[in-house]
Every structure is written in structure tokens, then in C-alpha cells.
Amino acid sequence: MSQAATAVALTLPADQPQTTHTATRALRAQTLSDLTVTMKGEAFASASYNLFGTEADREAHPATGKLFRATAQTELNEHLHQAAALAGVVGTNAANLRQAINGETYEHQVMYHGFADQARNDGDPEAAKLFTEIAADEGRHRDAYRTALTVVTTGRGTIPTPPKADTVPVPAGLPKVKAARTKANLDTAMHGEALAHAKYMLFAARARQTGNPALAHLFEGTAGVELHEHFASEAVLAGLVRTTKTNLNRAITGERNEATTLYPRFAKRATAVGDEAVAGFFRDTAADEAKHATAFQQALNQLH
Ligand SMILES: [Fe+2]
Ligand SMILES: [Fe+2]
Ligand SMILES: [Fe+2]
Ligand SMILES: [Fe+2]
């Protein structure tokens, strides 16, 4: 859901202070952009590892299942949450709702319709159908958030009842789509859904802290739909989950890339523009990812 919302932040000139949240005031545009890429990657890794953990259990590798779930927690509760704090993602309830409305509007009006058209043209009717259904859901999410925003800003009316997620199981399987463009769009969509889930859980925590449990429920219910329905049904079509051996190999490749290439590059860029706190975060996170790669490698060695 974040693409439209973050686009606003990222188009600010590099030397102009942010006006929305204190934490972002000093950050340069490149640093903010790198933090957004980080949050998407971490949210995606966390959601994927939880599914890989379920598959490991299915294959009777309980220790590997545990490792995937513990790592998923670190990606979400440490890496993503720290990046979100540095980027100033969470604001007042009203600001959080506006950010959520922007994201849902972009997904509803632009992103999923475009993906559906492309999938139809590329001969992937199942993906076209899914993207169209999700587009409709995002429209309902936007409408509920708009109603909630009116309640929060005027004190009148009722926060809508949260949507209920129909949990979609994600068994191991090959991709069910043909076109490279559909696969790329599924990947983009899964990153967006994983980030939307994570952000809404942060917004829910803020709503609860500020004494608005009905708003917390709305964010949590919507977060559940993003992860357990949208992300999950896209993961089925994308063939995200394979055998545990393949899942481990893919996780190792991702962790090594983050440890040796991605986060060191982000750290260097943050240092170059004087965003030293963020640079420190990227260096610490790179070190964590190297440990994740090692732990996954050990799990892989024990499979043989
Ligand atoms: Fe991470
Ligand atoms: Fe949504
Ligand atoms: Fe969604
Ligand atoms: Fe990691």
C-alpha cells in the first residue's frame, strides 16, 4: 500500500526538511528511499519465512521450521520496526489513516488494475482475476479508512467493523503463471502487501496506545487481509514456497545479498549525506543478515 504514500515523501528535494514527522526531518531523500526499500524487503522476508517455516514443519524438519519463524520475527520486530522509526512512518492516528488511504487508493485505482490488464494481455487469466478481486478489496479498505478518518477528526460517527481475513493456505508448488511480467508484478504486489500488513500493525499499536481500540481493530483486521489473503493468494500463483531445501537456498542468497551488497551500499550513501544514525542501522543490520545466512547454511547442511 505504500507506493503512493512514499512517493510523496520521496519527491521532496534532498535538502528540504520533512514537515510531517520529526524523525524524518533531517533525512535526505536518498536515505528515505533506501529505508523504504529496506522496509519492503524486510516485510517480504518476514512473511516468506513464516510460510517457509510451515513448509519445513510439513516436511518434518521442526528445527528448521523454528529457525525460519525466529528469523521472521527478527526481520519484522527489529529490522523493519527500526527502519520505520528512523523513517518516521508512524504519526498521529489521523496521519496514519491518511497514509493508509493514499496507499489503498493507489492500489485500488492504479496498481492492481494495471496488473490485471497486463496479466490478461499476457495470457495469465488466473492472475488477472486475482488482481481484479484484490483491487475491489483495496477499494473497500480505502472506504473504511475514510470513514474512520472522519470519526477521528470530527469525533462523530462509528469506526467501521474490521474486515475478516479468509486465510489462504500456501502449499509448496511451482508458479502458476506464464509471463515474466506477471511474475514481476506478483513480486511487486507481494512486497506491497507485506509492507501494508506491517505498517497497519504499527498503526494499530499506536491507535491502542492512544486509547482508540476500535481503530486498532480496524487496522489489525485489514492487516490480516493484506497478509493472509492478498499476500498468500499471490504467493500461491507466484510459487513462492518450494521444498525446504530450495527455500533455504533462496533465503541464503537473499541474506548474503543484504549482508554484503545492499545494506553496505545503503550505509555508505547515508554516511555520505551525514545521516549517520541511519548508516549505523544499516551496518548493524548487515551484520545480522550475515548471521542469518550462516544459520540457514547450517540448517541446509543438516538436511543432507
Ligand atoms: Fe533483515
Ligand atoms: Fe488494503
Ligand atoms: Fe492488499
Ligand atoms: Fe535476515
Ligand nearest the Cα of residue 141 is 2
Tell me how far the alpha carbon of residue 161 lies from the centroid of ligand 4, in angstroms.
Answer: 35
Ligand nearest to the CA of 80: 1
Question: Which one of the ligands is nearest to 251 CA?
Answer: 4
Reported as a pLDDT band with limits 50, 70 and 90, residue 270 is very high
Q: How far is the CA of 303 from the centre of ligand 2 (A)?
A: 38
Question: pTM value?
Answer: 0.91
- Predicted confidence (pLDDT) per residue in 97-147, tens digit: 999 999 999 999 999 999 999 999 999 999 999 999 999 999 999 999 999
What does the alpha-carbon distance between residue 121 and residue 116 come to, in Å, rounded to a whole number?
9
Residue 197 C-alpha to ligand 2 middle, in angstroms?
9
CA 196 to ligand 3 centroid distance, Å? 7
Residues by chain with Cβ below 5 Å of ion ligand 1:
42, 75, 79
Distance from the alpha carbon of residue 302 to the mean position of ligand 2, in angstroms: 40
| Mean pLDDT (whole number) for 225-254 | 98
Ligand nearest to the CA of 263: 1
Domains by residue range for the chain, with CATH: 9-89+243-304 (1.20.1260.10), 93-242 (1.20.1260.10)
Residue 25 has what pLDDT? 53
The predicted-structure confidence for 161-177, as pLDDT tens digits, reads as follows: 999 999 999 999 999 99
